[in-house]
Amino acid sequence: MPTIIRDLPYFDQPTRVQLRGRSFSVKRDQIILWISISEKGLPQPDPRVPCFPAILDIGCNYNLLINERHLTAWAGIQPGYLRQLVRIRVAGEPVSHLAANAWLHPNVPGKRDDFASQPPFLLELLPGIGVYPGKEGQPLYPRLPLVGLRAFRQRPQPAPRRRKCCSTRTFAAGMIRWIGQTGRRLARCKRKPSIRTTNGWDLPCHSADTEPDFSRKCF
């Protein structure tokens, strides 16, 4: 499998990232990825779809969280274009849930904001992305889109089917039959008190005036 992100630097001091002639601040120790968003079902990325910076947030327990204004201005997608899923709550606030995938753009080794020549890598976001409402007059949240570790969880592949040696019903019936037979055998052995000897023989208890019967073995 080819390496997608290689020698990606992050810095112990605030930096800035450039996007379409504007500069955005990046706090210290924040890891920046470059992604793009598309509707689900596309096998290949659309080269016309722009990419934008996002923060890799290992504390985010969702795939991708983005503000509605970033989705429109940076990703070039109107929220109504994507299929609406059941609304979710993030930190107690209702958030739109839209069906979409993300594409991770490989970097030049050692460079954060320079892209390698290989194509973007598909991140299948199950079930989709969370979109915060872009309220006028209020600061944007999140300040930059957030990519959680769940975004890197790939769709599980179905396990190969195996031939069954017996059905569950047949196995259960056989177990019940075996337990019943074993119980009857134990009941027969307990009709007379017996003593288990070191060589595995069960000897019936006898009184002083009777001889032990060595011809009977319970199992």
Report the alpha-carbon distance of residue 128 to residue 125 in Å, rounded. 5
Peptide bond into 2 cis (omega under 30): no
Could you tell me the domains of the chain? Answer: 15-152 (2.40.70)
Summarised one tens digit per residue, pLDDT across range 178-194 is: 666 666 665 565 555 55
Report the alpha-carbon distance of residue 65 to residue 95 in Å, rounded. 9
Given this model, what pLDDT does residue 136 score? Answer: 79
Instruction: Evaluate if pTM is beyond 0.85.
Output: no
Summarised one tens digit per residue, pLDDT across range 22-35 is: 999 999 999 999 99
Name the residue among 77, 60, 59 with its Cα closest to residue 68: 77
Query: How far, CA to CA in Å, does 116 sit from each of 56, 113, 171, 175?
Result: 19, 10, 57, 62
- Residue 62 and residue 89 in contact, taking contact as beta carbons nearer than 8 Å: no
Given this model, what pLDDT does residue 95 score? Answer: 86
Summarised one tens digit per residue, pLDDT across range 94-135 is: 888 999 999 999 999 999 999 999 999 999 998 899 999 887
Q: Is the pLDDT of residue 21 over 50?
A: yes
Instruction: Work out the average pLDDT over 62-82.
Output: 92
Given this model, what pLDDT does residue 163 score? Answer: 47
Q: Is the pLDDT of residue 176 over 50?
A: yes
Given this model, what pLDDT does residue 169 score? Answer: 53
